[in-house]
């Protein structure tokens, strides 16, 4: 079965974004990191743990009516470094690109250090420097290496 | 040296450190020559948790430079009690003063506060994070007693939560010191400090027994093992006794070993050590004044 056939398991979208090659089981975390919880009215399709030559198993997310910004794509790289982004207009792929890891992510992750000032009611967003093998709080220096999705800030 | 804010020892280069220490030495040699240096300067003191030495030495330093301080007072008597954010507090007080000194129980508080003010801000301790001015006076004391060349230093006690340890460890990488960390396994260095030391290529070894390394040390920096860090008291009692030193312990040390402590001590250094030539912790505390005078003078434009 080709990748195209797999994508047809969920309906094609007219306009929006297809996020492909998400590591198997990470699709819901991708939705969380994009702040997509179904309340906005966007039509969202999710396929999980589909066979993939590159990844073994992969997830695919299709978001109707929304083109992801570069900032959103950058942040995705933290949990889906192999993801590809397909921008769809009138059923055609008009743009296809890989995600790239940003040097810093702001307001995306919650610092796991409960004594970090960013966890207080202060007018400041969390800010993490992105390294090769983890992220590091720019305020308290706490390093997160594992289970990044567990630290995604709720919208 | 030119830094708007002093937040972490990590921002200090070897050159920055030497500049402050050299200036502190000049001040210590002739403090009267600096008495009118900053007669119109007001330093805002924002201490959100108790402090004796740090607060008094900053106060003394500013007054010995001819300036004065404005003190927020205790948290209980301030608007913080009414729920004011730290960001608002520092924005208000920067309008009253020429520079700010902040002590706060949360890690990263000084960095965050510095993003809301234009006057220079000095981190006087942020939770278990950093305490860069303590590090400067520690380095001054180390340089005076042991020098920076081929320095072998042991740092013992609560290495996990001790902010003075974190700051000092970072700064010691700039002088290529050989660092030995002695602690119970449960209080070893946090991951972020280990990472930084590794990245800096620092010579670092960890021990659970002081005896393994004591004879090699030029400096032994002792910190308090805090009972409140342990989930149960019996576990604390078991380890705390292993990290106490007395005059007999130091019989195995070099004759010119320098023993330091950021103070306050409880029982980790027995009083019989005070009478030995090793003890430098009170002089270390006294060095806080010329070092903080030097830092304030440089930050406030005294080098121009």
Name which of B107, B115, B195 is nearest A140 (Cβ-Cβ): B107
User: B215 to chain A, minimum CA–CA distance in Å?
Assistant: 34
pLDDT score recorded for residue B152: 97
Q: Which among B86, B127, B191 has CB closest to A122?
A: B86
pLDDT value of residue A70: 76
Q: Where are the domains of chain B?
A: 5-130+288-301, 133-285
Query: What's the pLDDT at B304?
Result: 45
Question: Looking at the predicted structure, is the pLDDT value of residue A15 above 60?
Answer: yes
Where in chain A is CATH 3.30.70.140?
Answer: 3-98
CATH code reported for the domain at A3-98? 3.30.70.140
Q: Which fold has domain B5-130+288-301?
A: Rossmann fold (3.40.50)
**Rounded distance, CA B184 to CA B205, Å?**
14
Is residue B264 within 8 Å of residue B164, measured between CB atoms? no
Q: Let me know if the fold of B5-130+288-301 is the same as that of B133-285.
A: yes
Q: Is the dihedral of CA B141, B146, B149, B152 positive or negative?
A: negative
Query: What pLDDT score does A155 carry?
Result: 57
Whole-number pLDDT of residue B302: 61
Active site residues of B: 53-54, 82, 103, 131
- What average pLDDT score do residues A134-154 get? 89
Closest CB from A115, A118, A143 relative to B192: A143
Q: What percent of chain A has pLDDT over 90?
A: 49
**What's the average pLDDT block by block, 10 residues per block, for chain B (304 residues)?**
84 96 98 95 95 95 97 78 90 97 97 97 96 98 97 96 94 96 93 93 92 97 86 82 94 98 94 97 98 96 60
pLDDT-based confidence at A9, cuts 50/70/90? low
Binary contact (B192, A118; C-beta < 8 A): no
Q: Which residues of B touch A (CB under 8 A)?
A: 85-87, 104-109, 111-112, 115, 126-129, 190-193, 195
> Which pLDDT value is given to residue B8?
96
Residue A7 pLDDT > 70, yes or no? no
Determine, for residues B86 and A120 on separate chains, whether the beta-carbon distance falls below 8 Å.
yes
Chain A interface test: which of B48, B49, B88, B106 (most A C-beta within 10 Å): B106
Distances (CA, A) of B12 to A135, B3, B23, B132, B240: 23, 9, 15, 9, 33
Ramachandran assignment for B176, one of left (phi > 0), alpha (psi -120 to 50 degrees), beta (any other) = left
For CATH 2.30.30.20, the residue range(s) in chain A are 104-151
Q: What is the mean pLDDT of residues A57-70?
A: 89
pLDDT for A154 beyond 80: no
- A4-A7-A11 Cα angle (round to 5): 125
- The pLDDT value recorded for residue A73 is 82
| A136–B contact, CB cutoff 8 A | yes
Poorest-pLDDT segment among A36-50, A104-118, B248-262: A36-50
- A1 pLDDT band, cuts 50/70/90, is very low
Interface confidence, given as ipTM, is 0.91
The CATH code belonging to domain B133-285 is 3.40.50.1370
* pLDDT tens per residue, range B104-119: 999 999 999 999 999 9
User: In CATH terms, is domain A104-151 a member of 3.40.718.10?
Assistant: no
B263 is in an annotated binding site: yes
């Amino acid at each position: 079965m080709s990748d195209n056939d797999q994508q047809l398991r969920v309906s094609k979208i007219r306009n929006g974004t297809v996020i492909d090659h998400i590591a198997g089981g990470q699709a819901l975390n991708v939705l969380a990191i994009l702040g997509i919880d179904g309340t906005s009215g966007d039509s969202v399709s999710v396929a999980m743990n589909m066979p993939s030559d590159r990844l073994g198993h992969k997830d695919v997310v299709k978001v109707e009516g929304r083109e992801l910004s570069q900032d959103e794509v950058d942040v995705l790289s933290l949990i889906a470094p192999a993801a590809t982004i397909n921008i769809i207009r009138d059923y055609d792929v008009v743009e296809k690109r890989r995600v790239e890891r940003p040097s810093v992510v702001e307001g995306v992750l919650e610092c796991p250090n409960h004594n970090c000032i960013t966890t207080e009611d202060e007018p400041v967003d969390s800010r993490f420097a992105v390294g090769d093998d983890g992220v590091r709080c720019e305020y308290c220096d706490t390093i997160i290496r594992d289970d990044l999705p567990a630290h995604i800030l709720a919208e | 040296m030119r830094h708007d804010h002093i937040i972490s020892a990590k921002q200090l280069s070897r050159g920055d450190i030497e500049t402050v220490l050299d200036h502190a030495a000049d001040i210590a040699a002739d403090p009267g020559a600096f008495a009118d240096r900053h007669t119109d300067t007001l330093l805002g003191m924002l201490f959100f948790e108790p402090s004796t030495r740090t607060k008094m030495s900053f106060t003394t330093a500013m007054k010995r430079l001819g300036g004065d301080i404005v003190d927020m007072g205790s948290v209980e008597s301030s608007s913080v009690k009414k729920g004011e954010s730290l960001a608002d507090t520092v924005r208000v007080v920067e309008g009253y003063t020429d520079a700010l000194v902040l002590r706060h129980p949360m890690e990263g508080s000084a960095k965050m506060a510095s993003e809301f003010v234009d006057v220079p801000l000095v981190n006087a301790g942020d939770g278990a994070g950093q305490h860069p001015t303590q590090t400067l006076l520690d380095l001054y004391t180390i340089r005076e007693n042991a020098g920076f060349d081929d320095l072998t230093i042991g740092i013992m006690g609560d290495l996990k939560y001790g902010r003075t340890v974190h700051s000092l460890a970072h700064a010691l990488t700039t002088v290529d010191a050989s660092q030995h960390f002695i602690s119970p396994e449960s209080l070893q260095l946090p991951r972020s400090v280990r990472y930084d030391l590794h990245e800096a290529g620092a010579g670092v070894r960890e021990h659970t027994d002081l005896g393994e390394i004591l004879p090699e040390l030029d400096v032994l920096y002792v910190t308090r093992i805090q009972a409140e860090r342990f989930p149960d008291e019996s576990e604390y009692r078991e380890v705390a006794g292993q990290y106490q030193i007395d005059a007999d312990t130091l019989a195995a040390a070099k004759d010119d070993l320098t023993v330091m402590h950021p103070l306050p001590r409880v029982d980790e250094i027995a009083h019989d050590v005070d009478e030995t030539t090793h003890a430098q912790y009170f002089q270390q505390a006294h060095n806080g004044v010329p070092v903080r005078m030097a830092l304030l003078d440089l930050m406030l434009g005294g080098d121009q």
